[in-house]
Amino acid sequence: RKEVEQDPGPFNVPEGATVAFNCTYSNSASQSFFWYRQDCRKEPKLLMSVYSSGNEDGRFTAQLNRASQYISLLIRDSKLSDSATYLCVVILSPYSGAGSYQLTFGKGTKLSVIP
Amino acid sequence: DAGITQSPRYKITETGRQVTLMCHQTWSHSYMFWYRQDLGHGLRLIYYSAAADITDKGEVPDGYVVSRSKTENFPLTLESATRSQTSVYFCASGIGSYEQYFGPGTRLTVT
């Protein structure tokens, strides 16, 4: 099983739809989780952190399910501007000294919102 | 308010040449990172730095060298470029080792 897996998509959804992506991770000791978005040929941009209790930012909701080892991102009322690739990031261990830092980016899920 | 910048934005070089990619951040973030992004692999960590004069290897460090003499700069050097190092290189910075803010990237082609 790969460390971090995402469905590459593409997810093609109409404007106004609700869409959800999952990201599974293999190491149960993973500590921190994030979602980034990346527009075509641009840099990744931090979208939101993912907490055990879940967190919401406007139309976006992120959830963590430690028992099943996945994180999710829900986008409500999709806009054309939401079209992008969504990357999950799993930090196995934050920095605590030489050689300690481990993180993995998923390969991303592509979302296309259609008019 | 430039944030984090990378230079050059595009670079074409020949196999065997030394190439240095520059990264500069104005936030005084302690942590800085270098990634490469290739189709089919996603983003992979090359090197990271927790502070000035502290650097460490990431997942794919072979063929690369970094230094960090000043907090704001984190150059990445390809000592002898190979075709397999053709990629998009992203620099990132962060207050901690968690949330990261990326530069615009450098597209490097090795011929």
pLDDT digits (tens, 9 = 90+) for A7-53: 999 999 999 999 999 999 999 999 999 999 999 989 999 999 998 88
Query: Do A11 and A110 meet the contact criterion of CB atoms below 8 Å apart?
Result: yes
pLDDT at residue A21 in the model: 94
pLDDT of residue A51: 86
* pLDDT over threshold 90, residue A93: no
B53 touching chain A per CB within 8 A: no
Interface contact B98-A91, CB threshold 8 A? yes
Whether B81 and B14 have beta carbons less than 8 Å apart is answered as: yes
**According to the model, what pLDDT value does residue A1 have?**
60
Q: Which of A95, A99, A108 sits opposite B42 (nearest CB)?
A: A108
Instruction: Work out the minimum CA distance from A88 to partner chain B, whole angstroms.
Output: 11
* pLDDT tens readout for residues B44-80: 999 999 999 999 999 999 999 999 999 999 999 999 9
Is 90 exceeded by the pLDDT of residue A2? no
pLDDT number for residue A97: 83
Q: Does B96 touch chain A (CB under 8 A)?
A: yes
Mean pLDDT of chain B: 95
Element (H, E) at A63: strand A60-65
Q: Which residues of A touch B45 (CB under 8 A)?
A: 103
Please check the confidence at residue B19 and state whether its pLDDT lies above 80.
yes
- Per the CB < 8 Å rule, is A95 touching B90? no
In contact, A104 and A36? CB cutoff 8 Å: no
Question: Among A43, A45, A101, whose Cβ lies nearest the Cβ of B105?
Answer: A43
Cβ contact, residue pair A107, B45, below 8 Å: no
- Report CB contact under 8 Å: A101, B56: yes
Please return the burial class of A89, using the count of CB atoms within 10 Å of its CB with bins 0-12, 13-18 and 19+: buried
Q: Read off the tokens for A90.
A: 């799993």
The pLDDT score that the predictor gives to residue B22 is 98
Which DSSP category does B73 fall into?
A: B
pLDDT for the residue numbered B98: 87
User: Which residues of chain A are within 8 Å of residue B99 when distances are taken between CB atoms?
Assistant: 34, 46, 49
